[in-house]
Amino acid sequence: MAEIDLRDFSLLEYDDVYADVYNAYSLGAGFMDPNDLFSLDPRLVTADGMNPHGLTQDMRKLWVNRHVKLVDGKYGQVYPKYYTTIENMTESDNHMVIRERVYDGAGYQKQLLHARSAERKLYLMRAQNEAEYNMPVVLPREAKQDTLVHPELHLVLNYSFHRWKENHMISEVDNFPQEIALLPESGRPTFKDGNMFVADVAFTTPEQLELMKSDFRYVAELLVQLRTGESIDFSEAKVIHLNELMQLFAVLTGDPDYLNYRVEKKTDGGDKQVYNMREVMENHGAGKAIFEIVLQQKKQNGYSTEEAMDKLFLSAKQRALYYQASGEQAP
C-alpha cells in the first residue's frame, strides 16, 4: 500500500462519515447521530498544558447523545457525552495499544484540566454572588455540568490487506516482559492491561456494509475487492464527498489517476452535481482506456491531443472523459 499522508483521510472528518464508521464497526445502526458530533482539537496536553512530542490524534470529536437524557440528583438532567477518536493505520503496529493507553490518559487529563477550570469559575461565581446578596446562592445545575468527566472511546481503522496481527493487549507487546505471569491471581488485577478495538476495513462483512449509509461504504468495498480480487458492482447511490473519496482511493490503491477525478463544489461545500458511485467508477475506467489510446496516437504520429481525438472520432462525452482522466485542461 502506498505511503499515507494523514491529510488524505479528510473524508473521515465529515460528521456523516465519522458517525457511519462508528455505527458500522462498533455501535450499531443509527446509534451515533452525525448531528450530535462536534469537532475537537486532536492535540492532547499534559498537566502543565504542554503538548509533548506531537501527542496528536488523527481525529477527535465530542459526541453529545441528545436522544437520551440521564437524571442525576446533583447535576439534574444531562445528555450523555463521549470523547471519541479514530486512528488510521495502514499496517499493524506492535505498540499501538500502548499509544492508545497514552491517548486515553492524556484525554482524561485534558478533561480534568477543563473540569478544574470550571470548578474554579463556579467557586468564584458563588463567592461573588453570596457577597453581593449576603446569602447562600444555589447555582444552576447546568453550570455544574461543565465539571463532569466523560468516557473516552477509541476506534482504530486498519486499512491493510491483512487482519491486525499485532497485539490488542499491552501484555502481548513483543518487548513487554512477562513478569505479570509470575504474580498470583489475586495480584494480577492491579496491572491494568488493555483491549484495543480494531476494525479491519478490508475484511468488512456484508452485514457491516449494509449498515453503512455514507461514502465510507465505497472505501470498504474497494479494499474488500482489492483483497479478494473479486469485482464489485458499486451501487447507484449518490456520492456526497466525491473529491475526498477519490483522494483516499488514490492513496489506498497507489493510482494517482483518481486524483484527476475532481468535481466543482458549491459555496456550502457540497457537489454542484449529483454523482452515483457506479457511474463514477465506469467513467473512471473508460477515461483511463481512452487516455491510453489517445496517448498512443500522440506518440506514434506526433499529434496534438485534439488532433488525436479527431482522428479517433471521439464523441463529446469521450473527449470529456479523456480530459477527466488525463488531468489536462480542456480547451
In the chain, where does DSSP find H-type helix? 15-22, 96-133, 141-144, 206-211, 216-228, 242-253, 277-301, 305-311, 316-326
User: In percent, how much of the chain has pLDDT > 70?
Assistant: 74
pLDDT at 329: 77
186 within a domain of the structure (yes/no): yes
Residues 6+ apart with CB under 8 A from 270: 240
Tell me the pLDDT band of 168, cut-offs 50, 70 and 90. Answer: confident
Q: Is the pLDDT reported for residue 159 higher than 80? A: yes
Q: Is the pLDDT reported for residue 1 higher than 60? A: no
Q: Could you give the strand order of the β-sheet that contains 37-39, starting from the edge strand earlier in sequence? A: 37-39, 59-64, 81-89, 152-158, 198-200
Q: Is the pLDDT reported for residue 25 higher than 90? A: yes
- Would you list the DSSP string of 257-286? GGGG---PBPTTSSBSS-EEHHHHHHHHHH
19 within a domain of the structure (yes/no): yes
299 within a domain of the structure (yes/no): no
100 within a domain of the structure (yes/no): yes
Distance of CA 52 to the CA centre of its chain: 23
Q: CA–CA separation, 180 vs 14, rounded Å? A: 42
94-103 pLDDT per residue, tens: 777 778 888 8
The pLDDT of 182-203, averaged and rounded, is 78
- Prediction pTM value: 0.77
Q: Which three cell numbers stand for residue 213?
A: 449509509
Q: Which domain holds residue 98?
A: 6-236
211 within a domain of the structure (yes/no): yes
Q: Is the pLDDT reported for residue 218 higher than 60? A: yes
Distance of CA 255 to the CA centre of its chain: 21
Q: CA–CA separation, 63 vs 86, rounded Å? A: 13
pLDDT at 20: 95
233-279 pLDDT per residue, tens: 787 778 888 888 988 888 888 888 788 777 666 555 555 566 788 88
β-sheet bridge partners, residue 61: 39, 84
β-sheet bridge partners, residue 86: 59, 155
CA-CA distances (angstroms) from residue 112 to 13, 46, 99, 119, 192?
Answer: 25, 10, 20, 10, 21
What is the number of structural domains in the chain? 1
C-beta separation of 245 from 239 below 8 A: yes
29 within a domain of the structure (yes/no): yes
Q: CA–CA separation, 326 vs 259, rounded Å? A: 10
Average the pLDDT over each of 60-74, 119-133, 146-160 and give the range with the smallest value: 119-133
Averaged confidence pLDDT in the chain: 78
252 within a domain of the structure (yes/no): no
10 within a domain of the structure (yes/no): yes
Q: CA–CA separation, 126 vs 76, rounded Å? A: 18
